[in-house]
Structure 1
Amino acid sequence: MNETFDIPKILELRKLTRSISEKIETDLNGYLSTLGPLFSPTPILGEYIRGGSKAPVKGAEMAFRDLKSRYQAIAGQIPFSLQTELSPPLDIFAATPALTAVEYPYTATAENKSASLTVTSPLKWVLSYPDLNPKRLLELLQGNRNQQEDELSHALLQCLTLNLVLEKRPGLVSILQGLRFTIDTSHHDGLGELPVIIISCPLRTLLPSDDIIIQNTEISGIPSFEEIINIEDIRELSDPLQQNVLSITKEISPTVYQEIASH
Structure 2
Amino acid sequence: MNEIFDIPRILELRKLTRSISDKIETDLKGYLSTLAPLFSPAPILGEYMRGGSKAPLKGAEKAFRELKSQYQAIAGQKPYSLPIELSSPLDVFAATPTLTAVEYPYTPNQEGKSASLTVTSPLKWVLSYPEQEPKRLLEMLQGNRNQLKGELSHALLQCLTLNLVLEKRPGLVSVFQGLRFNLETTHHEELGELPVIIISCPLRTLLPPDDIIIQNTEISGIPSFEEIINIDDIRKLSDPLQQNILLITQEVTPAVYKEILSH
Asked if these proteins are the same fold (TM beyond 0.5), I'd say yes
Give the counterpart letter for 2:70 in structure 1. R
Aligned counterpart, 1:151: 151
The 3-state SS of whatever aligns with 1:216 is helix
Q: Return the TM-score normalized by structure 2.
A: 0.99
1:114 and 1:196 mapped to 2: Cα distance?
30
Letter in 2 for 1:178: G
Q: Supply the AA of the counterpart residue of 1:186.
A: T
Letter of the 2:100 partner, please give it. Answer: T
Report the Cα distance in structure 1 between the residues aligned to 2:2 and 2:138, rounded to whole angstroms: 35
CA distance in 2, matches of 1:131, 1:230: 31
Residue 215 of structure 1 is matched in structure 2 by 215
Map 1:78-227; keep pairs closer than 5 Å.
Answer: 78-227=78-227
- Give the partner amino acid of 2:254: P
Distance 2:219 2:95 in 1: 41
Output the CA distance in 2 between the equivalents of 1:192 and 1:11. 37
Instruction: State the distance in 2 between where 1:23 and 1:189 align.
Output: 30
| Deviation by residue 1:223-257 (Cα, 9 ceiling, x = unmatched) | 00000000000000000000000111111111111
Aligned to 2:17: 17
The separation in 2 between residues aligned to 1:90 and 1:227, in whole angstroms, is 40
Rounded to whole Å, the distance in 2 between the matches of 1:259 and 1:214 is: 54
RMSD: 0.7
Query: Per-residue deviation at 1:154?
Result: 0.3
Query: 1:4 touches 1:208 (CA, 8 Å); kept in 2?
Result: no
Secondary structure in structure 2 of the residue aligned to 1:63:
helix
For structure 1, the 5+ residue unaligned runs are none
Aligned to 2:71: 71
Pairwise CA distance, 1:187: 1.2
Q: Distance in 1 between matches of 2:136 and 2:105?
A: 17
Amino acid at match of 1:147: Q
Q: Percent identity?
A: 82
Deviation at 1:3, TM superposition (A): 2.7
Instruction: Tell me the CA shift for residue 70 of structure 1.
Output: 0.3
Divergent runs of 4+, >4 A: none
Partners of 2:143 and 2:170 in 1: how far apart?
A: 36
Q: Which residue of 2 aligns with 1:38?
A: 38
Query: Partners of 2:93 and 2:82 in 1: how far apart?
Result: 20
* Partners of 1:189 and 1:107 in 2: CA distance: 17
- Matched residue type, 1:254: P
Which structure 2 residue ranges, 5 or more long, are not aligned? none
- 1:90-142 CA-to-partner distances (Å, cap 9, x unmatched) read 00000010000000000000011011100000000000001111110011111
Where does residue 254 of structure 2 map in the other structure? Answer: 254
Query: Within 1, Cα distance between the matches of 2:140 and 2:57?
Result: 34
2:3 maps to 3
Q: How far does residue 189 in structure 1 lie from its aligned partner after superposition?
A: 3.0
